[in-house]
Amino acid sequence: MKKYVLALAGLTCLFAVSCNKKDEPGTEPSALTAPVLAANPGTVIVDEASEEIALTYNWTQQKEVGLTPVYSLQLTKKGDTEFASGVAYECSGLEKKFSHAELATLASEIGASLNEGFVLSARVRVTAKDKKEVAAVLSNVVEVNLGKAQYPIENLYPIGNGTPYGWSQDKTEAMTKVGASFTWTGHLYANADIKFLLQNNGEWWPGIVNKSDDPYNYEPVIGFSDAEDKKFKVEKEGKYTITINAANTNALTIMFEFISDDTQELVVDHLYILGDATKTGWSLDSMEEFEKNDKIFTWEGSLYAEHEFRFPMQRDWWPCLMIAADGKTLVKGVSDDEKTGFTVDEDGIWKIVCDVENMQVSITRTGDIVPTSIEELYILGSATATGWSLDDMASFSRDGSIFTWEGTLLANEEFRFPLQRDWWPCLMFEMDGKTLVKGMGDGDKTGYTVSEDGVYKIVLDVDKMEGSCTKQ
């Protein structure tokens, strides 16, 4: 079966009447009869991955004596009355079948969108084999509605820093469903991420995300992976109604309707401390929790000077409470754009008391940091064979306060020694290659590297905070 792309110039012959030369008496050419075309079914929901038959065209047979008919099935979008932008299939029989996958390819070839849906027009052109003097005839035009298979949506859940739920699936509430429309009314935070899950069972995909790179330009689509994870944002904080129309899941619409400048009641069930100023660094799993007494939260522990810390309200990066520059006021933030810059000016044991009802905080130094024994030590960095993989980084062997590692290091590349399977805290060599220092974040990185590729033995005494790195 041959397939042709129709050109406008080539179509001219469809409508031109052959110039009949004067024939001898009794040799008038026979005429073809226009076939009757039918399609089954009249509407097709296309599953692009399926090879099953989705659409069948058939037509009536030519019976003129002495003529051998040649059938060509022509297809195009509705509106292309001349079939100038369509495709044609030469057929030896009286039918042509298309699988779902073939219809998806056909839609692309004729410039149609299954996502939006379209009407496919078809007709059959018949010619007489080896008899150019016999005029071609055309069948009736048949129309079939094509659209992409709909993705079933039963529930939608708003989630993200821009919502009252943060990134907690346990807290998020289902939108109200009426037919194919989903609505939700509540408080949204400005310039913070919002997306919508189709479930709240711990799975993050599928979800409704933004096709646009601009979070303030709303183009909702169903996403299935982190590569599609673009969010929505609103520019003004306040009470909103969100409406998502899912009547056609291939052409979703979303509206954020601002209602009022409402004041959102702050509900704090848990409070944690996170940051490179703490001993647990940026580990969400290891961060320490405040003790709660009604609206008062208390924590006491080690803080390192000139390093960042904040107070997540759940085991996630945001939302968080933070200490304002005055050292007395608590402020809420829902994204990196809202971070405050308060730090302590001296290493030590600090007691922090947060009054979340009045948004007040007190922070008091209560003692010096007592060195904590190091139980584990790892090597991490681009100088190592495992690179920056926390899961694959090699561990040191231990004998009391002495930790030993031997392996390959690359010249002029970075490495350091994490105390746990996290980016920080770490031990590092000072530039003398002997003195060890403890770092809590990227701002503490030293510049020590080895000058030659090779196998090295590293021995660290964590009590004396000194060590050696020797090429073997």
The topology under which CATH files domain 378-471 is: Immunoglobulin-like (2.60.40)
Report the C-alpha dihedral over residues 77, 80, 86, 91, rounded to 10 degrees. 90
Q: What is the CATH number of domain 2-148?
A: 2.60.40.10
Indicate if the pLDDT at residue 249 is higher than 70: yes
Q: What is the mean pLDDT of the chain?
A: 88
What residues contact residue 229 under an 8 Å CB cut-off, 6+ apart?
195, 209, 223
Task: Phi first, then psi: give them for residue 33, nearest 5 degrees.
Answer: -105, 135
**CA distances from residue 159 to 169, 210, 339 in whole angstroms, order as listed:** 7, 14, 20
Q: What is the rounded CA–CA span in Å between residue 48 and residue 281?
A: 47
Indicate if the pLDDT at residue 8 is higher than 70: no
Q: What is the rounded CA–CA span in Å between residue 173 and residue 194?
A: 14
Which residues partner with 413 through β-bridges?
none
- pTM of the full predicted structure? 0.49
426-429 and 436-439: which strand pairing?
Answer: antiparallel
- The residue whose two tokens read 């996502």 is 115
Query: Do the beta carbons of residue 424 and residue 400 sit within 8 Å?
Result: no
Domain assignments of the chain as residue spans, ordered by start:
2-148, 157-260, 272-367, 378-471
Q: What digits encode the pLDDT tens for the residues 357-368?
A: 899 999 999 988
What residues contact residue 419 under an 8 Å CB cut-off, 6+ apart?
374, 376, 377, 378, 425, 426, 427
pLDDT at 370: 65
pLDDT at 405: 96
207-210 and 220-223: which strand pairing?
Answer: antiparallel
For 109-127, the three-class secondary structure string (H helix, E strand, C coil) is HCCCCCCCCEEEEEEEEEE
Q: What is the CATH number of domain 157-260?
A: 2.60.40.3620
pLDDT band at 279 (very low <50, low <70, confident <90, very high): confident
Q: What digits encode the pLDDT tens for the residues 17-59?
A: 333 433 444 444 568 889 999 999 998 989 888 899 999 999 9
The topology under which CATH files domain 272-367 is: Immunoglobulin-like (2.60.40)
Give percent above pLDDT 70 in the chain: 92
Number of CB atoms found within 10 A of residue 162's CB: 28
| Distance spanning both ends of the chain, measured CA to CA | 71
Q: What digits encode the pLDDT tens for the residues 168-220?
A: 898 899 999 999 999 999 999 888 899 999 999 999 999 999 999 999 999 99
Indicate if the pLDDT at residue 6 is higher than 70: no
